[in-house]
Amino acid sequence: MQKTEIIEFLQGKDDNWLFNEADRIRRAVFGDEIYLRGIIEFTNYCRQNCYYCGLRRSNRAVQRYRLSHEEIIAAVETAANEKIPTIVLQGGEDPYYSAEWIADLIRKIIDKYDLAITLSLGEQTPEVLQLWRKAGATRYLLRIETWNRENYGSLRPGKRWEDRLNCLKVLRELDYEVGSGIMVGLPGETLATLADAIIGLTELDLDMIGIGPFLAHPQTPLKDKPNGSIQLTLRTLALVRILNPYANMPSTSAMECAEKGARLAALKIGMNVIMPSITPERVKLLYNIYPGKNADSDASEHSIPAVLEIIREAGFHRSLSKGISPNLIRRHESQNILSK
**56 contributes a contact to ligand SF4 by CB under 6 A:** yes
Burial (Cβ within 10 Å: 0-12, 13-18, ≥19) of residue 171 = buried
Which residues, numbered 68-107, are part of the site for ligand 5AD (CB under 6 A)? none
Residue type, 192: A
Number of residues near ligand SF4 (by CB under 6 A): 10
What does 212 interact with, of ligand 5AD, ligand SF4, none (CB < 5 to 8 A by kind)? ligand 5AD
183 binds, among ligand 5AD, ligand SF4, none (CB under 5 to 8 A by kind): ligand 5AD
Q: Compute, in degrees rounded to 10, the torsion defined by CA atoms 208, 212, 216, 217.
A: -50
Does residue 53 touch ligand 5AD according to CB under 6 A?
yes
Measure the CA–CA gap between 41 and 278, rounded to whole angstroms: 8
User: Is residue 211 part of the contact set for ligand SF4 (CB under 6 A)?
Assistant: no
Kindly tell me which residue out of 143, 156, 225, 263 binds ligand 5AD, with binding defined by CB under 6 A.
143
CA distances 63 to 280, 284, 286, 332, Å, are: 15, 11, 7, 44
The residues, ordered by sequence, that sit 6+ positions from 207 with a Cβ below 8 Å of its Cβ are: 139, 177, 178, 179, 247, 248, 325, 327, 328
Q: Is 183 one of the binding residues for ligand 5AD (CB under 6 A)?
A: yes
- Whole-angstrom distance, CA of residue 262 vs CA of residue 136: 34
Query: Applying CB under 6 A, which part among 52-60, 99-107, 166-174, 258-266 lies near ligand SF4?
Result: 52-60
* CB nearer ligand 5AD, residue 80 or residue 265: 265
The DSSP code for 250 is B
> Rule CB under 6 A: which residues touch ligand 5AD?
52-53, 143, 145, 183, 212, 214-215, 217, 254, 289-290
> Rule CB under 6 A: which residues touch ligand SF4?
46, 48, 50, 53, 55-56, 92-93, 122, 289
